[in-house]
Chain A
């Protein structure tokens, strides 16, 4: 990893209580402050050489702090050379209650046979707006897995465009969005199957409470010659209040004739029979509902392959569902 030239910065002056400073086992941390990598102040740019295997997980912690313009825009670049392997965690936080607007672009390029695992964790305050465009290209035989965990944030917009350009590529996208209060979260996916013999799947799940609004818009586009591909898309939503709104738009556009594709969306409430069963054993209503919501979230959380990270995320999701983030003033409350 010497080539990356980034500073391991555990002694960050960012904030004393910031729990994310404690790295997970086998994880290297890197801070991005207001769009610039700490130490270099330039946007994140990572390039793995052909065959390079990153043993450590790279955790990129992006924070917005006071003393910077409220609106910033920047572009990150993650390039994975042929046959390289990497695991990346991208976290974003807001340290002060300023009305931040962050416009971010992330290019992710997988050359042939690269294997990349990305977890995106978004935890910002209620006044923050964060728009991210992920431009992804996947080469032949490459394997990409990305999970988006949108835990908190005023207005979060994730747009993902994937171009599958090489045969045998496998792209797995998943997302979990937890939205309450007046928060808005939008996820859109454009999955372009440009070549034959590839697999893609999308699983997005949301839990919405209060007056929250979420959107999911996904399209699977299969080019005329992209035969024998498999592409799946699912969006499931749990509405906990009568005022919460979900707009979901699953779409397929297929120009090849020998493919397996599916798409589906559901909107529902907590199951009453399950709830009664849990309560009849003495689990109080509130706890029973948390158990049900955790169960709902589980199919996305289980996609996180790093066991320690998964456990951390499960804890965070549970805390979030218990409403422990709602009094969030800064990132000193261990919500990461």
Chain B
């Protein structure tokens, strides 16, 4: 059964300074789908995810991004989050002095406020936090620590998935969540994602390698090259890229 339309990206162009990085991206994501975006370094994968999340270092020069009928490009990063967009960062930011608890409490309660719900009590919040930490196998001692401060690469990525679990986004964009992870950490992250998959949400998984896609099986695979999607196919495309590299696509 076909899911409902969720995200439509039409002819998206974006630049940083004078350098055009995205040169006309078209992408449609429906509810319940997992899309993988692959491509060599410098093809614009991270730029695409940053633009979708509202990073203002990139200037959108053309095109539109519509999510659930809203023009995403007109929204601030926090409004996009309330609209259900979540970006799992390739390099999660360390924020000394802000504890994971306080961070997530602010975020979760702000999401509730936007939905007209009362803030969670401390007890309710801690219960929720414990449940979600269990999903990613995160030790409870992490909750009182500064956001990502002193976390290993794997712990940071787990923290991203934990935050995603807390916020239950409609559309999660995971930007190279697999980079720097060993197989165990990769499995935990993938299990987290698979646990959070529902018929009414969707994922865009940006990755360099096929490896992550062994655990998170995509419905659609796109190859991004020089700011354009040059090929779109089913999950078998990822395997083919793993075996043959990108050259046959770029030169073909």
Contacts and interface: CB of A to CB of B under 8 A. Distances in A.
A321 to B, nearest CB: 13
Contact of A296 (B76, B86, B97, B167): B97
B3 interface: no
Given A281-B163, A282-B82, A294 B77 contact: no
A274 B106 contact: no
B248 to A, nearest CB: 36
Range, interface on chain A: 20 to 34
Contacts of B147: 277
Range, interface on chain B: 20 to 34
A298 B110 CA distance: 23
Given A291-B103, A294-B98, 18 more contacts: A274-B95, A276-B55, A278-B106, A279-B76, A279-B78, A280-B87, A281-B81, A281-B104, A282-B82, A282-B107, A282-B110, A282-B111, A282-B167, A283-B78, A283-B103, A284-B78, A285-B76, A295-B146
Interface string B48-61: 00000111100000
A292 interface: yes
A298 B54 contact: no
Contacts of A282: 78, 81-82, 107, 110-111, 114, 167
B95 A277 contact: yes
A292 B93 CA distance: 13
A327 interface: no
A283 to B, nearest CB: 5
Q: Which 9 A-B pairs have the closest CB atoms?
A: A295-B97, A282-B81, A279-B77, A277-B93, A281-B107, A298-B97, A295-B98, A279-B78, A283-B106
A273 interface: yes
B89 interface: yes
A299 interface: yes
Interface of A: 273-274, 276-285, 287-288, 291-292, 294-296, 298-299
A295 B96 contact: yes
A274 to B, nearest CB: 5
B24 interface: no
Contacts of A277: 89, 92-93, 95, 147
B4 interface: no
A335 B97 CA distance: 23
B235 to A, nearest CB: 28
B102 interface: yes
Residue of B76, B81, B146, B167 with most partner-chain A CB within 10 A: B81
Contacts of B98: 278, 291-292, 294-295
B95 A294 contact: no
Nearest to A295: B97
Given A276-B55, A280-B87, A282-B111, A291 B78 contact: no
B81 to A, nearest CB: 4
Contacts of A287: 106, 110
